[in-house]
Amino acid sequence: MTGTADPGTTVDLWETSIGWNNWERARDWTTAAGYVSATADASGKFTIKRFLDSGFYFRVQQGDVQSERITVKARIDPTFWVSRPSPVVNGQAIAGISVLPNQPGLKVQVQRKSGSSWVNVKSFDTDPDEKTGNTLSTLTGQPSGDQTFRAVISGDDSNGVLGATSAEAKQWIAGAGTPTTPPPSPAVGTVKFTGIQYDSPGVDTGSNGSLNTEWAKLTNTTKSAINLKGWTVRDQAKIIYTFPSYNLAAGASVFIRSGKGTNAGNQRYWGRAGKVGYVWNNNGEQATLRNAAGTNIDACVWKTVSPGYTAC
């Protein structure tokens, strides 16, 4: 958000969630202390950044002078994947979705590609698991073979949240006339942990910046690309990150950061928040990598606080 004020003055951000009327100064949740404000530069211009977990009404205040109210809505950022049930059942798959903002009660319509069009497969509401933030639903009666799915997530006008459509996800479906198992998965050790920053540098404030300096690094040790769709990284407390469709190139690495962010390139985000958002224990832990079939592919173990990083 940008605006103008008297040069050199402090501008405070005020807010209320859409659907509410409880105006208050915006707290700075990224540092868990203080409020959101900005100082107008010599030409009077100022910029304010604010993390959104729903739609908001905002205004700014300089001294006793208030601006007009503006409306800012949040668009859903979905992560969608499809995996096989265990044991494998003909015509069945498991659809999984996590959304930011992480709200319950959002309508999800799973669709399957049929030629150049899409067929509705299953409708359900988001009901995020407390630990993983994921919602899972079983798809039945699906054609066998490789299938392509997507999820259409409805918004929530009452909270100023806009809907979105996920990226496509491919999954092999068992059925009559097809094998009961898909082609073999990459072998144990083909993808390895090659580094874990288990202790974020500095004080663990629970800010998004602090959470994102805690990460796990995976490397493809083979000479071929590997799709990590449905693969999981987990700690001993069963906090689980599940990969959507993601091709890890031969010899390449991918980082999984604990906080929130936009998935791009080799950077993936767990989407956790606050002081309870840290994944890895500083004083000893085991990280486990499993493929979509649930097979353990690699593990990384550490038993000490110092130096806060292990190369596995």
Domain positions in the chain are 2-72, 75-173, 191-310
Tell me which CATH code domain 191-310 carries: 2.60.40.1260
List alpha helices for the chain, DSSP H.
208-211
Q: What would the two tokens of residue 72 be?
A: 């800012």
pLDDT of residue 28: 85
Assigned CATH class of 75-173? mainly beta
Chain centroid, CA 4 distance in Å: 35
Digit-by-digit pLDDT tens for the chain (312 residues) are: 999 999 999 999 999 998 887 899 998 876 666 899 999 999 999 999 887 778 899 999 998 899 999 999 989 889 899 988 888 889 999 999 988 888 889 999 999 999 989 999 999 999 988 777 889 999 999 998 889 999 999 988 888 889 999 989 888 898 866 555 555 567 788 999 999 999 999 888 999 999 999 999 999 999 888 989 889 999 988 899 999 888 899 999 999 999 999 998 999 999 999 988 999 999 899 999 999 878 899 999 998 877 899 999
Neighbours of 103 (CB within 10 A): 18
Tell whether pTM > 0.85: no
Domain 75-173 and domain 191-310, same fold? Reply is yes
pLDDT of residue 304: 80
* Backbone Cα Rg of the chain: 22
How would you classify the pairing of strands 45-47 and 24-25?
unpaired
CA distances from 230 to 29, 35, 83 (A): 32, 40, 6
CA distances from 143 to 172, 292, 311 (A): 10, 20, 43
The Cβ of residue 115 has, within 10 Å, a number of other Cβ atoms equal to 6
**Cβ neighbours, 10 Å, residue 276:** 8
pLDDT at 179: 54
Give the Cα separation of 47 and 41 in Å (integer).
10
For residue 94, what pLDDT is reported? Answer: 94
CA distance 204 to 264: 25
**DSSP run (H or E) holding 157:** none
| Residue 60 pLDDT | 95
Vertex 171, ends 223 and 137: CA angle to 5°? 135
* Residue pointed to by tokens 């009327």: 21
